[in-house]
Amino acid sequence: MIKAFIIHLSKSTERVDQVDRLRKELSMPTEIVDAVDASNLSDADVQRVYKSRLHSPGYPFGLNIQEIACFLSHRKVWQAIIDQNLLAGLVLEDDVVLTPDFARVFATVEQYMTPNNFIRFPVRPNKEKGLELLIVDGVRILKAMPVGLGMHAQLIGQAAAKQLLAVTQMFDRPVDTTLQMNWVTRLSPLVVVPGGVAENSAQLGGSTIQRKRPFLEKIKREISRPIYRLRVLIYSRRAVGS
């Protein structure tokens, strides 16, 4: 059985209509998962799960409390996939919009799905390239290396969810960046093109994770980001070759 999970912070009342619309459009059992509220996390809560520079290459930025809460929200859904003994869970964030391609895209992905798979539905088209594993009716499943960023929509098999929970009891970077680390997760995330989804966070009041940063911090991030991405690519290739 495949079930959809929509991650939604209950106090984000401006997103309630969006969540209701998304739930009605999904042609499968759907559950609303209350996201972890960053304002309820204590210092002790953070210390139990977050440790900087835990993995190599070192992540060059510290996590803010919203990024930590986001990671814990996804872990909450991974646990639900296991607890409910599902083949897989379609995990959606609450700013996702289904496009007219979604039914065709999901039908293709469902054919390919196994408990060990993690398949990402990107909101930005043509950003990821990789080995083509399957093509049906214009829908392609790729083994991208590394897989792209963003956690708007993913189909996660039960075995993959177990593996992700096991290796993220402590974490040092955002959840999407962690999923790029195949040398840590021992998973090979896939991507489907087109993704069949879009996002409308701008119409819903903006991102609930990102914050405005001082000018000097923005400059530092712009310099550090491409260096980090290059190191991730090198580590990914090594892991595949090992």
- The count of domains in the chain is 1
Query: What are the tokens at 1?
Result: 């059985």
Lowest model confidence (mean pLDDT) among 17-26, 69-78, 136-145, 219-228: 219-228
Query: What are the tokens at 17?
Result: 């209509």
State pLDDT tens for residues 146-161.
Answer: 899 999 999 999 999 9
C-alpha span between 221 and 181 (Å, rounded): 20
pLDDT band at 200 (very low <50, low <70, confident <90, very high): confident
Q: What is the CATH number of the domain that holds 73?
A: 3.90.550
C-alpha span between 72 and 104 (Å, rounded): 31
State pLDDT tens for residues 217-238.
Answer: 777 778 888 999 999 999 988 8
Domain that holds residue 105: 2-241
Buried b (16+ CB within 10 A) or exposed e, 87-126: bbbbbbbbbbbbbebbebbbebbeebbeeebbbbbbbeee
State pLDDT tens for residues 6-15.
Answer: 999 999 999 9
